[in-house]
Structure 1
Amino acid sequence: MTQEYDVQFVTIHGHRRAYVKTGSGPVVLLLHGLGCDHTTWEPVIESLSRRYTVIAPDLLGHGQSDKPRADYSVGGYANGMRDLITVLGIDKVTVIGHSFGGGVAMQFAYQFPERTERLMLVSSGGLGPEVTPAIRAITTPGFHEVMGVLTLPGLRHLGVAGLRALSELPLKATHDFDEVAAVFDSFKDPRSRHAIRHVVRAVVDWRGQIVTMSDRAYLTEEMPMWVVWGRDDRVIPVRHASNAAMMAPKARVEVIPDAGHFPHKDHPYRFSRIVHDFIRTTEPATYSRARFRSLLKSGAQERTLHAVDAV
């Protein structure tokens, strides 16, 4: 059973943002995926907090944070995370992003390299076009109305119970259905449905993901970067981990067997060890404006161009 943590709140730009902050030491910023919240990290927060200051926010539009009509782009989320750590008096972080949160983490590292010590991507978006049809469906007309009917009390309870029962089956295809059940349950709030729809439309269309790091991957040359994936991921295919390796050859890639889209929940102790090894064996990135300018002027190296063609 995972431990629950006290949720704190801070208002930034008029919107209340929820977050968990615990532990001491170098700061680790944990960014959750689409439709989730900070609780997705609960299996690893305790072990990480023994060595690090852990900050796990609910992204705007998710969890206990406000769900306004607002900017739900990855750039907007990166700005929000910069503002949050600034308000908390934190200068630099190792940022770890899961799924959609991985896209936000990449954008944060791109926009604020001077605030980013390391970058870890966990079953991340932004590394290839493929994504489960269930997420693409959120962009379709009528999603809000149909989900409003499906999340009426009786149907919602039946649906959540059915998804959780399926997650107990020894099938790879239903491995992550307990998390799907939690996301489905959150859709009972019309504000959540609106927010999630805006988020998905910013990064996905009917053909798949439209936001990618491929054109800026060469900038990670100066940034320690690890990529972690579950071998049985049915939401974003594990081959995207190989895409990351081609786009950022200095990145380390670790694929965890018998894990789905949430490897930090499937194998929390192993995941915590991976994070610790990442921080222990790498030096924090040091931002140099001159070096960043040089990278921007030179553009992607030939190897990166070949990698983009292969994705």
Structure 2
Amino acid sequence: MGRVKFIEIDQLKIAYNVVGTGKPVVLLHGWGCEANIFKSVLDTLSSTHQVFALDLPGFGLSENPPTAWDASDYAKLISLFLDKLNISKVNLIGHSYGGRISIVLATEEVEKVNKLILVDSAGIIPRRNTNYYIRICMAKIGRLMRHCGTLGNRIADRIVHQVGSKDYQEAGAMRATLVKSVNQNLRPLLPKIQAPTLLIWGENDTDTPVSDGKIMEEEIPQAELVVLDNAGHYSFLDQFHQFCQIVSKFLE
């Protein structure tokens, strides 16, 4: 995968890997992950491309963002990263939360994205049911309990454990960024994507279901959806060889 390098962007130290030569490809990981999750993909694609994999701010070896960020803030950082490395046009691969960032970048920096690959991508806000609003109400109660001393904090911790998602429970200092990001509806941006787009989904993905991929296929002008059998939210790991074959052909 190559030795980790560091670059400073807007006073943030960002860790990244780069291997290979050829047209540039940038890999953006999902929430709670880091660049290393793409090691095998990076090594494979580097035989034909120059491949970059970043630790997004708040993950891996990169520094935390100074405030609560959303996908637009991350997209601005990726744009500055490309500028610093004199990359004028890139093939972009985003998994899950990295897909969110990729969608924003592909609409706000149209001229910089050659081809777009969204893998089990986030960005579609699911339909809210009664249980969702109950959890929101409980979360608000939990925040109020934080002002009630030691006992209040214990009750608040218990509420977080019961109603918070795994990502929310483990987010720590990044919790405000997570909340800001998941409430950002990117669906209105989909028709604005001009780059040829490949959508790759695991048929058993329960985090971002295939129905999200079908919406994206319908609303992104030049999009094609490929659903991988016997694969979940990390379809690029579950069906690694098939994934790399599909991606390599698309990038030709």
2:101 counterpart residue number = 104
Task: Confirm or deny that 1:234 pairs with 2:234.
Answer: no
Structure-1-length-normalised TM-score: 0.67
1:277 counterpart residue number = 249
- Structural RMSD (CA): 3.0
Deviation at 1:69, TM superposition (A): 2.6
- What is the alpha-carbon distance in structure 1 between the residues aligned to residue 3 and residue 219 of structure 2? 39
- What is the alpha-carbon distance in structure 2 between the residues aligned to residue 130 and residue 279 of structure 1? 34
Task: Confirm or deny that 1:260 pairs with 2:239.
Answer: no
Question: CA 1:19 to 1:88, structure 2 compared with 1: closer, same or farther past 3 Å?
Answer: same
Deviations 1:26-79 (A, max 9, x none): 111111111111011112111111011111101111111001432511111001
| Mapping of residues 114-263 of structure 1, within 5 Å | 114-129=111-126, 140=139, 187=170, 193-195=172-174, 197-205=175-183, 210-213=184-187, 215-220=188-193, 222-263=194-235
In structure 2, what residue type is equivalent to 1:253? L
Question: CA 1:38 to 1:211, structure 2 compared with 1: closer, same or farther past 3 Å?
Answer: same
- What is the alpha-carbon distance in structure 1 between the residues aligned to residue 221 and residue 70 of structure 2? 27
Checking the alignment, whether the CA contact within 8 Å between 1:29 and 1:96 is kept in structure 2 is yes
Deviation at 1:130, TM superposition (A): 5.6
Deviation at 1:199, TM superposition (A): 2.3
Structure-2-length-normalised TM-score: 0.82
Deviations 1:202-245 (A, max 9, x none): 1325xxxx4123x232222x320110000011111111111112
1:307 counterpart residue number = none
- What is the alpha-carbon distance in structure 1 between the residues aligned to residue 97 and residue 230 of structure 2? 22
1:33 counterpart residue number = 30
Q: Secondary structure at the match of 1:86?
A: helix
2:44 counterpart residue number = 47
- What is the alpha-carbon distance in structure 1 between the residues aligned to residue 103 and residue 65 of structure 2? 24
Deviation at 1:248, TM superposition (A): 2.1
- What is the alpha-carbon distance in structure 2 between the residues aligned to residue 5 and residue 129 of structure 1? 38
Task: Confirm or deny that 1:23 pairs with 2:1.
Answer: no
Deviation at 1:9, TM superposition (A): 0.6
In structure 1, what residue type is equivalent to 2:41? V
Question: CA 1:203 to 1:27, structure 2 compared with 1: closer, same or farther past 3 Å?
Answer: same
Checking the alignment, whether the CA contact within 8 Å between 1:43 and 1:264 is kept in structure 2 is no
Q: Secondary structure at the match of 2:191?
A: helix
Gaps of 5+ in 2: 147-152, 159-165
Deviation at 1:128, TM superposition (A): 4.2
Q: Secondary structure at the match of 2:227?
A: strand
Checking the alignment, whether the CA contact within 8 Å between 1:130 and 1:236 is kept in structure 2 is no
Checking the alignment, whether the CA contact within 8 Å between 1:27 and 1:54 is kept in structure 2 is yes
Deviation at 1:14, TM superposition (A): 1.3
